[in-house]
Structure 1
Amino acid sequence: MSEWYKVGKIVNTHGVKGEIRVISSTDFADDRYAVGTKLMIQGENNKQQTVVVRHHRKHKNFDLLQLEGYHSINDVEPFKGSTLYVSEEYLEELEENEFYYHEIIGCTVVTEAEENLGKVKEIFETGANDVWVVQRAGGGKDLLLPYIEDVVKEIDIENKVIRIHLLEGLLE
C-alpha cells in the first residue's frame, strides 16, 4: 500500500461545471494536478475517496481542478473543506538540497547553539522564497522563518532536524 501526501485543501467550488478551488500546499502544482493523476480526497469523519484529475488551471492564488465524473457544482459541493492527497507513486526524485513539503513539516528547528525553537508546522510561498511557520517549543507566537541561505544552514531529513543561524530580529 502506498503512502499519501497532502497537496492541498479544497476551499470552495468554482462556477457551475464542477470545478473545485484548491489552496495548494505543494511546490509542484502542475505535476500534482496533471491530467490523469489520481488524488485522494479526505473529508469529514476521515471519509476517503479516490478521484482522477480531468483538468487543471491556475486562477488568482488558487488551483482550479475538474475531476473525472464530476460535471456540476452539485457533484463537488460535498468536497468543500476536504483535504487533497497524492500517492507516493507520483513523487519524483528531487535534486540535492531540494525537499518536499512533507519532509520539512514536522522537523525540529534548532539554532547553531542547539536551542530548540520548535517544529515546522506549515510552509507558504511568498514569491521570493518560502517561509516556514515554526510552532514554538515553549508556546507563544509562531516563528516565521525565511528559507534562505543566510538562515537555514543544515537540513537533516533522516533525523527530522533543521539547524538555523538566528539573524538579529528574527525572534521578535
Structure 2
Amino acid sequence: MTSPQDSPDAQHVVLGKLTSSYGVKGWLKVYSYTSPMEGILDYPEWWVRLDGRVAKYRLTQGRRHGKGLVASLDGVNDRDAAERLAGAEILLPKSALPKLPADEYYWHQLEGLEVVTAEGQALGRVAYLFETGANDVMVVRGAADGKERLLPFLPDEVILDVDLDAGRMTVAWDPDF
C-alpha cells in the first residue's frame, strides 16, 4: 500500500520526498512513503515535482543508509544540484504501480470514497489512512456532521464491500461511534 499523501493529480501518486543533499557527489536523502520503505527504489524512473514543475529522472543507485534511504539520480552530479531538489516530491504514474490481487487496494484508491453503513447511513468520506502496527486505520470525515471517525481497515469484519467504480465503501459500523 502507498501512503496517505495527497495525489498531485488523478494520474500520479506521491511515493516520497527528497529531503536534503547527501555528500558531495549529488546523492539525496529520501523519505519514502512506501511500505517497506525500500519499495521506492524498485521504480527506475521518478517524476520529481518542485514548485509546481515536474521533471523526470532516472534512478541510478539507491540504498538504505541508517534509518533512511539515499539515492543518486541521473544528471544530479554535485551537492549544489542535489540541494536544488531538496523538498521535492517523488511522483509515479498510477499506471506504473503493480496490479494488486482482488480485494487489495492502494491507499490512494480508498481516499475519497463515500463510506456508508450496511443499513445505508452515510458516515462521510475516507480522508486518509495510517498504520498502527496491528492494522491500517481509515479516517472518515462526515460531510453533514463534520465528525471524524477512525475505522479499522479490517476486511470481512468492518469493511464489507469496496466498489471503486461507484466510489463507495460499505462498512459494519455504528454511526454513533
- Specify the TM-score bucket, using the shorter chain as the normaliser: 0.7 to 0.9
**Equivalences for residues 2-151 of structure 1 within 5 A:** 3-10=11-18, 12-13=19-20, 15-17=22-24, 18-24=27-33, 26-27=34-35, 29-34=37-42, 37-44=44-51, 46-58=52-64, 59-60=66-67, 62-138=68-144, 140=146, 142-149=148-155, 150-151=157-158
**Distance in 2 between the 1:168 and 1:106 partners?**
18
Alignment gaps of 5+ in structure 1: none
Quick one: percent identity of the two aligned structures? 24
Aligned length: 164
TM, length-normalised to structure 1:
0.77
SS of corresponding position for 1:33 = helix
Instruction: Render the CA deviation track for 1:8-65: whole Å, top value 9, x for unaligned.
Output: 234x2153252233241x4465444226x11111221x211111222333453x5443
One-letter amino acid matched to 2:20? T
One-letter amino acid matched to 2:71? L
Q: Cα distance 1:141–1:94, how it changes in 2: closer, same or farther (>3 A)?
A: same
Is the contact between residue 9 and residue 83 of structure 1 (CA under 8 Å) also seen in structure 2?
A: yes
Instruction: Render the CA deviation track for 1:113-159: whole Å, top value 9, x for unaligned.
Output: 22222222222222222222223323645322221132111111111
Instruction: Render the CA deviation track for 1:61-99: whole Å, top value 9, x for unaligned.
Output: x54433222244432323333322112452222111111
Alignment gaps of 5+ in structure 2: 1-10
Is the contact between residue 123 and residue 130 of structure 1 (CA under 8 Å) also seen in structure 2?
A: yes
Q: Cα distance 1:82–1:140, how it changes in 2: closer, same or farther (>3 A)?
A: farther
Q: 2:161 aligns with which of 146, 154, 160?
A: 154
Is the contact between residue 55 and residue 66 of structure 1 (CA under 8 Å) also seen in structure 2?
A: yes
